[in-house]
Structure 1
C-alpha cells in the first residue's frame, strides 16, 4: 500500500497519494480537477482574502475550475494563460516556465485580446498550489508584459517553502517529503 497524506481543508478531508517526483523529493498529489465540492468550499474563502481586483488570470489547466468559481462569485470573467500558441491567437505574448509538476520547460501564452483585457488592470493570479513559484512567476511576467498590475497571487495550498512567502494568499500548507 502506498503512503498517503491527509489534507484537512475548509471542513473537508482528502487523502492524497505521496508521489516521488525526483530521487530526493516526493509530493502529496493534490488534484482539484473534478473535485467540485472542494472548489465550491475553498473559493469563497479565497475571495474573502483577495484585495480589490479587476481581472483574474490562471495558468492552464488545474487552476481553471478555481478561477471559474472565484470569477462566478465576483461576477467577472477570467483569463487563461494557455500552454501553447493556438491558431486563433493574434500577436500572442509568450514566456517559458519550468514547473515542479511537469519537470520540463513549457510555455505560457496570452492571446492579444487577453492582453488588451489586462492592460492597466489590477490582476489576481489564481492557482491550485504554489510550490516553487515558477508558474506564478511566468504568469506574472505575462501580466506585466501586457501592462497589468499584479494585485494578488492566490492558491488553495502553499507547498513547502512557498508557505513562508509573504506575497501570496493561501488557505493551507502542503508539506514536501524530502529524503536526506
Structure 2
C-alpha cells in the first residue's frame, strides 16, 4: 500500500492512499476523531483567515474543526450545511455540489434562519483537508 507522509504544524501522519475513482486516489483523513490535530491546526487556520462574520461547514467531518475555530475567534455560533432536509427547517435553502470523496452529487441544506444570517455577510467555508495524488 502507498502512503502519503503528511506534516502540518509539527504533527506528522502517515495517510494511506484510497482510490476513489479510476486514476484518482486521495490521501484523506477524517479530522473528526483527531483532537490533537484539531487543537493544533485551528489556531493557525484562524490566523490565516481574512476578517469574517461567520464560519460555515458541511455536515459532518468539518464540524469539530469549525467548532474549535469559532471558539478561538469568540464567535457565539457557526453554520452547518446539512446533508438532508430536516423537519425543523423553515424556508430551507438547498444547493447541489459534487463531492470528491463520494464521487456523486449531494444536496446541502440550510435552515432559512441560517441563510438569512449569512446573506450579505463574510463567510468562510471550513472543510477537512484532502491531499490529491
TM-score by length of 2: 0.93
Q: What's the counterpart of residue 9 of structure 1?
A: 8
Q: What's the counterpart of residue 20 of structure 1?
A: 19
- Unpaired runs of 5+ residues, structure 1, are 130-158, 160-173
The structure showing larger relative contact order (alpha-carbon pairs under 8 Å, at least 6 residues apart) is 2
Q: Distance in 1 between matches of 2:116 and 2:94?
A: 15
- Unpaired runs of 5+ residues, structure 2, are none
Q: Is the 8 A contact 2:21 2:103 kept in 1?
A: no
1:83 CA displacement: 0.6
Q: Is the 8 A contact 2:18 2:25 kept in 1?
A: yes
Q: What's the counterpart of residue 63 of structure 2?
A: 64
Q: Is the 8 A contact 2:42 2:68 kept in 1?
A: yes
Q: Distance in 1 between matches of 2:109 and 2:40?
A: 29
SS of the residue aligned with 1:71?
Answer: helix
Q: What's the counterpart of residue 146 of structure 1?
A: none
Q: Distance in 1 between matches of 2:20 and 2:108?
A: 22
Q: What's the counterpart of residue 128 of structure 1?
A: 128
Matching of residues 14-163 of structure 1 within 5 Å:
14-76=13-75, 77-129=77-129
SS of the residue aligned with 1:39?
Answer: helix
Q: Distance in 2 between matches of 1:57 and 1:46?
A: 14
1:49 CA displacement: 0.9
Q: Distance in 2 between matches of 1:7 and 1:39?
A: 15
SS of the residue aligned with 1:91?
Answer: coil
Q: Distance in 2 between matches of 1:27 and 1:120?
A: 34
Per-residue CA distance 1:117-163 (angstroms, 9 max, x = gap): 1123211111113xxxxxxxxxxxxxxxxxxxxxxxxxxxxx5xxxx
Number of aligned residue pairs: 132
Runs of 4+ in 1 over 3 A off after TM superposition: none
Q: Alignment RMSD, CA only?
A: 1.2
